[in-house]
Amino acid sequence: MPRYDARRIESKWQSYWDNHRTFVTSNEPQEGAQGKLYVLDMFPYPSGDGLHVGHPEGQTATDIVCRYSRMKEKHVLHPMGWDAFGLPAEQYAIQTGTHPRETTQRNIDTFRRQEKMLGFSYDWTREFSTTDEDYYRWTQWIFLQLYDTWYDADFEWTGPDGLSRAGKGRPISELPIPSGVTSEGDVAVRRYQDEHRLAYQLDAPVNWCPALGTVLANEEVTAEGKSDRGNHPVERRQLRQWMLRITSYAERLIDELENLDWSESIKLLQRNWIGKSLGAEVDFYVGDVTSTESQIMEFGPWKAARAEVGFPEHPGDLVLRVYTTRPDTLYGATYMVVAPEHPIVDHITTEEQRVKVETYRDIVSRKSDLDRTDLAKEKTGVFTGAHAMNPVNGEPIPIWIADYVLMSYGTGAIMAVPGHDERDLEFARTFDLPITAVVMPPDTDHDEPIGFVGEGTAINSGEYDGLPTAEFKQKITENLAAGGLGQLATNYRLRDWLFSRQRYWGEPFPIWHELDDEGKPTGLTRPVAADKLPVTLPDMEDFKPKGTPDPPLSWAPDEWLYATAEDGTRLKRETNSMPQWAGSCWYYLRFADNKNSDAFIDPAVEKYWLPVDLYIGGAEHAVLHLLYSRFWHKVLFDRGHVSTPEPFQKLVNQGMILGENNEKMSKSRGNVVNPDDVVSQYGADSLRLYEMFMGPLEQVKPWQMSGVEGVYRFLGRVWRMIVDERADDVTLSAAVQEVDLTDEQQRVLHKTIKAVTEDIDKLSFNTAISRMMEFTNVFTQEDVRPKFAMEQLVLLLSPFAPHLAEELWEVLGHAETLAYNPWPEYDESMLIEDEVEVPVQINGKVRAKIRVPVDAKPQAMQEIAESSDEVQKQIEGKQVVKVIAVPGRMVNFVVKG
């Protein structure tokens, strides 16, 4: 008695697909293919915990789209691989004394087993891991592209996509070298080029965790300023780091979101992250800080000189340059604040204030970014003793240092307008600094201008009084520019990307440092030749951090670490490694051509498969991964290596699956659902179907084990609708016969085909499943079930529950897989019913039901309604004011009395 036996069916069909290479995809389209479709899941990190139920959520969705699209004769690319470098593997390795290569391999094996167990139609011949040498060879190669590129912001050009744009990443050899630099010689030219590369080095503050003995990425530091792993304190240190100049692409990263098929909220998230703001840079004269009188005397001539020479590129030591989005509040600037690290502090601090200033700077320098922002409630700062001259009215105003001004944004200095900025107001109140109102709020009930941060009308602003904010901004910016005192400026919150990590388990940089005669780095670098890639990770037993910021690779064997160039220069390798993001920045390209040993991807293959048509994954990657990938892709685009400006045309974020208690799943809450357990109890088809039936893909939704039971029962019903459960073998039920469908059955079938098809197109899988349940509820009640209808249902169900569908397809007499069988089609004419029941409302309340011809005109509907006894009873003796009839929908009588 063959009951629905998921275990037997699933292993049978998984081997079938493997043995028949059912889902192996050629880069040559099959004959008659209806175009290509590249469907991608976000790159999983193979953690030691194995798959969690969030993985199959997005992956089932993409699998449904792929299986459906193949039946629609699309040429489908659907790959899977592993993002396997990274800190968790390394930490685990250190704790257990196992090499990360081993644990990573083990984790990958677990993940692969679990993915296969779920019956996803991946082309496994395209699988790779970011830790494979012939993968990271090309990660290094792309890094060298970044190294070899500078951004020409003014370059106008038309790309292979046919669109014109300004700004292009160009080969460093095309960088114009100023004659002053050329005359200084070769080394000066090289240093000048190095300053302009998209991959460059910088002394940058990093998150140093003494307990872990490593530097952490911002994402690895908790909101409390502790390490994500182990909860150890984290402090700041200045270290020489590799940076990627993503800020050059900020404008294009915003603009080119426009044509992407992404949700508005994700686009907004990216725009906010990039954080473009428009404002002005304004120069405040400082000069001789020891005497305010002489400052006032010097101010006039300085201003006059500026009117002559204009606004300089660098303000110089005696001028303080600020960035503001509100140049219209310039008259309200009563003091200035510079970041404690600002270089001008050394020039302007007076003798009396020096000790206080240095003490403050010292305290701040030892705080992490997070400590600094943590102190947000209490404003701190110190007066430098110096004053600057307000360029609009020549008033001397005091210059303070405070950690609420960040060196990394704008110019690292602000003009403080306490009257109209919350932070400045709080600071001014703390330190008793003057507050001036210069903006009148527009509505009169809001009569207190102090603390008003919106737009209004200018007051106390000399000749500008009475101007609306917007107009004032424009006018004063023009005037400042004319006087050489300011200029329009754009700023981004986005920072350049800190790209190096002091870790072992990552891609080595393909970079040599030149050494001088004493073996010290000269600061000059050279790339590893492309034909020498990859720079393989040296085999090291000891990769445990030593409590200093030296990366583990710095004690790699000398053969790896040192070399002599052909010109005799001694070279030392870069010993930092790349962050985990590196490998996931371009993996979607490699899937299209993972065996290529001549190029990261063949240009023709790239042109054929890219961009990714559908990309599904969690919203946690809405900014970082997606922004980094887009950046790399654009650099490759500019350099002519890819043909599309964007990698991911359509993006969908799946909603998080919560535990049964409506809380986020976590080990500590004990509400984690393990896919292995669900599959062993109900089978993969039930897990897949349940995850899709839970609710809309993009919505957050709680797990319910009883819901899995429900879809499992549904699959059992489908099984019994087609299979004779009382026979000894799996045979067709006697009720399934080669008969024509009745009109009613036709209608149900075609309605189901239409609904399921449209729902899949909309990624509305939960409703698609409920349609198939309705179909099943109708047909299980029939004593004779037309075989054709059963076949059609099996085809509709196959993307969702592919194992069961294949088994039933076989029972229905088909020798071959249904994976490439044409998708059922519906006939619109079959859907039409002659008559429909519509409600009759009296004053908007349903009082009766009538049957009308589907195509009945409003007038006819009204007449039918009026002839009904029930309606007569309701409107009797009342005055009918108006009748609204919507064809095929409803009739509404508006009555009085």
Partner RNA sequence: GGCCGAGUGGCGGAAUUGGCAGACGCAUCGGACUUAAAAUCCGAAGUUCCGAAAGGAGCGUGCGGGUUCGAGUCCCGCCUCGGCUACCA
In angstroms, the CA 115 to CA 56 distance is 8
| Contact pick of 160, 178, 230, 275 for RNA (by CB under 7 A) | 275
Binding mask 412-441 for RNA (x = CB under 7 A): x-x--x---x-x------------------
Q: Exposed/middle/buried for 474, CB within 10 Å: 0-12, 13-18, 19+? A: middle
CB of 709: closest distance to RNA in angstroms?
Answer: 5
CB of 749: closest distance to RNA in angstroms?
Answer: 16
Binding residues among 487-516 for RNA as defined by CB under 7 A: 491, 493
With CB under 7 A as the contact rule, which of the stretches 55-63, 159-167, 265-273, 800-808 interacts with RNA? Answer: 265-273
Cβ–Cβ under 8 Å, residues 615 and 651: yes
- 317, 167, 321, 175: which is closest to 247 by C-alpha? 167
In angstroms, the CA 192 to CA 183 distance is 12
Amino acid at 259: N
Binding residues among 651-670 for RNA as defined by CB under 7 A: 664
Binding residues among 277-296 for RNA as defined by CB under 7 A: 277, 279
| Contact pick of 451, 468, 523, 716 for RNA (by CB under 7 A) | 716
Does 523 contact RNA by CB under 7 A? no
Please report which helix (H) or strand (E) contains residue 841, including its range.
Answer: strand 835-842
| Contact pick of 60, 368, 752, 892 for RNA (by CB under 7 A) | 892
Binding residues among 69-98 for RNA as defined by CB under 7 A: none
| Contact pick of 36, 720, 751, 787 for RNA (by CB under 7 A) | 720
Nearer Cβ to RNA (101/717)? 717
| Contact pick of 780, 787, 788, 831 for RNA (by CB under 7 A) | 780
With CB under 7 A as the contact rule, which of the stretches 24-32, 690-698, 733-741, 744-752 interacts with RNA? Answer: 690-698
Does 764 contact RNA by CB under 7 A? yes
In angstroms, the CA 487 to CA 279 distance is 9
Whether omega before 839 lies within 30 degrees of 0, making that bond cis, reads: no
Nearer Cβ to RNA (172/700)? 700
In angstroms, the CA 409 to CA 491 distance is 8
Does 711 contact RNA by CB under 7 A? yes
In angstroms, the CA 593 to CA 601 distance is 6
- 589, 708, 614, 584: which is closest to 58 by C-alpha? 614
| Contact pick of 695, 732, 853, 868 for RNA (by CB under 7 A) | 695
Binding residues among 367-406 for RNA as defined by CB under 7 A: 372-373, 375-376, 379, 403-406
| Contact pick of 34, 96, 704, 859 for RNA (by CB under 7 A) | 704
Binding mask 598-627 for RNA (x = CB under 7 A): ---------------------xx--x----
Does 193 contact RNA by CB under 7 A? no
| Contact pick of 245, 841, 852, 871 for RNA (by CB under 7 A) | 841
| Contact pick of 51, 216, 769, 795 for RNA (by CB under 7 A) | 769
Does 52 contact RNA by CB under 7 A? no
Nearer Cβ to RNA (137/420)? 420
Spatial neighbors of 134 by CB under 8 A, at least 6 apart, are: 128, 534, 597
Please report which helix (H) or strand (E) contains residue 144, including its range.
Answer: helix 133-147
Report the alpha-carbon angle 477-482-486, nearest 5.
50
Does 884 contact RNA by CB under 7 A? yes
Binding residues among 214-233 for RNA as defined by CB under 7 A: 223
β-pair type (276-285, 486-492): antiparallel
CB of 323: closest distance to RNA in angstroms?
Answer: 5
With CB under 7 A as the contact rule, which of the stretches 275-283, 498-506, 511-519, 595-603 interacts with RNA? Answer: 275-283
In angstroms, the CA 23 to CA 482 distance is 67
- The residues pairing with 227 across neighbouring beta strands, listed in sequence order, are 221
Does 55 contact RNA by CB under 7 A? no
Does 694 contact RNA by CB under 7 A? yes
Spatial neighbors of 21 by CB under 8 A, at least 6 apart, are: none
Please report which helix (H) or strand (E) contains residue 383, including its range.
Answer: strand 382-389
Spatial neighbors of 461 by CB under 8 A, at least 6 apart, are: 328, 330, 331, 332, 438, 467, 472
